[in-house]
Amino acid sequence: MVIRELPRRRALDVPIRPTRAEINIDALRHNLSEVKRAAGPLQILAVVKANAYGHGAVHVARVLQEAGVSFLGVALIEEGVELRNAGITAPIVVMGGSYRSGYGLLVSHRLTPMVFQDEHLRELNAEAVRQKQKVAVHVKLDSGMGRIGASIDELPRLLLSLQGCAHLEMEGFCSQLASADVQNSQQTRDQLAVFRRGLQCVDTAGLKPKWRHLANSAALLGLPEAKVGWDVNLARPGLALYGLRTAEWLGEELLLQPALTWKTGVTHLKTVQAGQKVSYGGTWEAKRQSVIATLPVGYADGYHRSYAGKGYVLIRGVRAPVVGRITMDMCMIDVTDIPHVAMGDDVVLLGTQGKERISAELMAEWAGTIHYEVLCGIGARVPRLAE
């Protein structure tokens, strides 16, 4: 079966709907500076997977490339190809390990894969031979997270196989910590010990990877032993670049600035009488005559249905509760007690307006999830506008 990508509709240069995510480029640059301060001598692999955690991968990658990061990190070949097609030339590491029929794209687009299976080595080397290229790889060790990577017992054999692949070069060695955001985690201590054994295996095999990396944002901010006194020289920050911490106790000394503000606008105003129900299922009923504003954002945009009855937005600098069920494309807010609300008024879903602020952490509480999911869940049809 031949799989063909469907043609994509070109988005309008200027969105018509007022719903948008505004990305503060100055905040991104500031956060990178703070992350570099935390990293000390370590170089930076800036993680821009999942559309740069919802911030817009191409915009963000351009900023980080101009700032001189050593690598960009993505999860998928598709994400790496998107960046290359947008003119990004910085080294890109593909961290997800799902390559299947994409080895040709890895080589032709100069993407650096994390490898940990014999198939990775065999197929990648064969493709490198076909394209007459030398391909850099980063070997991934599963030090105890149980997700992807070669186990410590499998590692010596994998390294031996790698040495038999003339067109592959071991540029990096890495692992992933599962509980770096948990204080005094025994799992983290165990993983650090396994990673040290992995480094010894690499040295015994006579391999000299230029880059050794272990620290994600949590380890970079709260685990000194994962970045100093070790044979490591690269860190992989993700969430911190976007101005958020993985846990409240991490990196309190860093002055991080959230880089994304999610906004929309009022597209309809109506007065409902006491006893009138609003939205599907009639789950909200007006207890008095009320003014209801409709906003053109819904769960298809990543504005979770679970926010209904818990969440609020900011309009004219004050809070307005979300009422009734959130629908696919719209939601409603009660603005009865907010004077002078008008059609077209700016509404903040995530971010600051006046003295009020809605954080990704707060929205995660409303939804019973984590702030990563709130950011990554902002839908593809919400335009990201760099400012």
- Look at the alpha carbons of 45, 46, 51, 54 in this order and tell me if their dihedral is positive or negative: positive
* 365-368 CB contacts, 8 Å cutoff, 24+ apart: 366/304, 366/306, 366/307, 366/310, 366/311, 367/304, 367/306, 367/307, 368/306
Under DSSP, the state recorded for 24 is -
CA distance 56 to 98: 22
Catalytic residue among 270, 280, 287, 299: 280
CA distance 34 to 26: 12
Compute, in degrees rounded to 10, the torsion defined by CA atoms 308, 314, 319, 322: -20
CA distance 231 to 41: 12
- Look at the alpha carbons of 341, 343, 349, 354 in this order and tell me if their dihedral is positive or negative: negative
Q: Which of 290, 267, 261, 293 shows the shortest CA–CA distance to 357?
A: 261
Helix (H, G, I), strand (E, B) or coil at 205: coil
149 backbone φψ class: left, alpha, beta (φ>0; ψ -120 to 50): left
| Amino acid letter, 313 | V
Q: Which of 176, 179, 182, 180 shows the shortest CA–CA distance to 194?
A: 176
Cα–Cα distances in Å, from 113 out to 105, 150, 174, 214, 332?
A: 11, 14, 12, 16, 45
Contact 349, 247 (CB under 8 A): no
Catalytic residue among 49, 140, 227, 263: 49
CA distance 10 to 14: 12
* Annotation says 312 is catalytic: no
* Annotation says 140 is catalytic: no
CA distance 378 to 364: 13
Catalytic residues: 49, 280
